[in-house]
Amino acid sequence: MACDYECAPHRGGWVAGVCATVMALGLVSGASAPAAAQEPSNHTQAMQGLRHADASHRLAAMARLADIGTAADANAVMPHLRDDSPAVRQFAMALVWRLWGRSGDPAVDALYEQGVALMRAGELTQAVRVFSDIIARRPAFAEAWNKRATLFFLLDQHELSMKDCDEVLQRIPLHFGALSGYAQMLAGRGQPERALQYLERAFQVNPDMPDAKLAIEHLRRQVEARRKKSV
C-alpha cells in the first residue's frame, strides 16, 4: 500500500500511500527555484517566502527549505498541499516527505538513507532491520516508524503495520500517508466506517492524493449500505 512514487511494489488498493512515500524524497533533491523569484538566502527568509502572494516566491522558498529545512518545517509547508497553484501543491507534497525524512542526527539520517535504498531494491526484510535500529536509537523519529509500517504491510504483517501507523500518528497526527494507509487496511478488514474516518482526515490535509475522492465515495456507499441493512 504505497504511493505511486513508492520504491516498493504497489500492493493493490485504492488509496495512495500506506504510511510512506519514498521516491518523492528525490523529487526536491537539487530542486531549483523558478527564475522569476530569487531563492531566499536563509531559513527566516524561506519561511517568510512561504506566505508570499506570488506562487513563484512560494516555490523558491520551498526550494530553499529542501536544502536547509528540518522535519519541524513540514508543519509550515503542509498548508500548501491545498495551495491554489498546482505546481506549489506538487512541490509541497514532495517537500513534506523530504523534511519528514530528516531526523536531525547525521548518523541516523545515514541509516535512514540506507533503509530507503533497501526498500527501493526490494530488500524488505533487511530494510525492516535498519528502520528497527533507527527506532531503537531515536524513537521520536516518526518517519522511521512510517517506513517500517510500509514494510510490514508489504510483508503482509498488517497488525504490525497498524501498530507502527499508530506510532506515526502519535507524533504527526496529520500524517496523510499513515492516515490513508490505515484506512486501506481497515477497509480490507471490513471496517468501512473507521476507514472512512481515517481517509477523510487524510483528504482534508492532502486533497491531491490519487484516487482519494473515489475511495471516499466507495466507502460512503459501503457505510450507507450497512446502515440500511441494520435498519
| pLDDT tens per residue across span 41-90 | 899 999 999 999 999 999 999 999 999 999 999 999 999 999 999 999 99
Q: Same domain for 166 and 195?
A: yes
Mean pLDDT along residues 94-119: 97
| Domain boundary pick from 100, 117, 140 | 100
Residues 126 and 162 in one domain: yes
- Do 150 and 2 contact (CB within 8 A), yes or no? yes
Confidence (pLDDT) at 101: 98
CATH number at residue 147: 1.25.40.10
pTM of the model: 0.86
Residue 37 above 90 pLDDT?
no
What is the arithmetic mean of pLDDT over 102-108? 97
* Structural domains counted in the chain: 2
209 versus 35: the higher-pLDDT residue is 209
Summarised one tens digit per residue, pLDDT across range 133-175 is 999 999 999 999 999 999 999 999 999 999 999 999 999 999 9
Same domain, 68 and 125: no
Does residue 58 sit in the same domain as residue 131? no
- For residue 167, the enclosing domain spans 102-230
Backbone CA torsion sign across 183, 81, 217, 21:
negative
Residue 169 belongs to a domain = yes
Interatomic CA distance for residues 154 and 18, integer angstroms: 10
Q: How far apart are CA 218 and CA 131, in angstroms?
A: 34
pLDDT at 36: 54
pLDDT digits (tens, 9 = 90+) for 166-214: 999 999 999 999 999 999 999 999 999 999 999 999 999 999 998 899 9
Instruction: Count CB neighbours of 133 within 10 A.
Output: 15
Question: By mean pLDDT, which of 39-43, 108-112, 118-122, 203-207 is the weakest?
Answer: 39-43
CA distance 180 to 1: 9
Assigned domain for 159 exists: yes
pLDDT of 125 higher than 60 = yes
Q: What is the CATH number of the domain that holds 96?
A: 1.25.10
